[in-house]
Amino acid sequence: MPDDDDGGDDEGGGLSLDAMQIKKFMKLGASRELTFAFVPAAGEDEPLFTIHRRKKPDNLGKAAKKEAEQTKVGYGTMTVEGKTVTLACDKSVPGMAKKLKKMLRQMKVPFDVKLTDAEGNEIA
């Protein structure tokens, strides 16, 4: 598909996604597993949530951490079922589900967020 791009996040554009790109990835996440990275906001900064089709989760996490210039980062794989995003975290940050849900709501992409560890056990 010619219009099937990665949201312009490979070279030069940075990792931040706008609401339209996130909606596109949520649709894609319903049919396949995607990698994600989340860096919570510190101070006045916006949180960074990025999704990629092919990058390994730890590589995406390192790139997001570097771009946001923060020390905390959560990453892993994600799937979408209905209006619920399930994040299988290789690494998570405290309050990640709540912060990500708030960020998505502000972008007018209302999804419930469920966190699991790599084995599939739900994280509180």
Percentage above 70 pLDDT, the chain: 89
pLDDT band of 41, cuts 50, 70, 90:
confident
pLDDT value, residue 93: 93
Residue 1 has pLDDT above 70, yes or no: no
What b-and-e string marks burial along 31-64, b requiring 16 or more CB atoms within 10 Å of the CB? eeebbbbbbbeeeeeebbbbbbeebebeebbebb
Sign of CA dihedral 24, 113, 42, 56: negative
Q: How far apart are CA 110 and CA 16, in angstroms?
A: 18
The one-character DSSP state at 123 is: P
Angle at 76 between CA 86 and CA 8, to 5 degrees: 95
Closest to 25 (Cα-Cα) out of 5, 39, 11: 5
Percentage above 90 pLDDT, the chain: 76
CATH number attached to the domain at 19-117: 3.50.20
In this prediction the pTM is: 0.85
User: Where are the chain's structural domains?
Assistant: 19-117
Q: How far apart are CA 61 and CA 67, in angstroms?
A: 10
pLDDT value, residue 18: 92
Query: pLDDT by residue (tens digit) across 56-102?
Result: 999 999 999 999 999 999 999 999 999 999 999 999 999 999 999 99
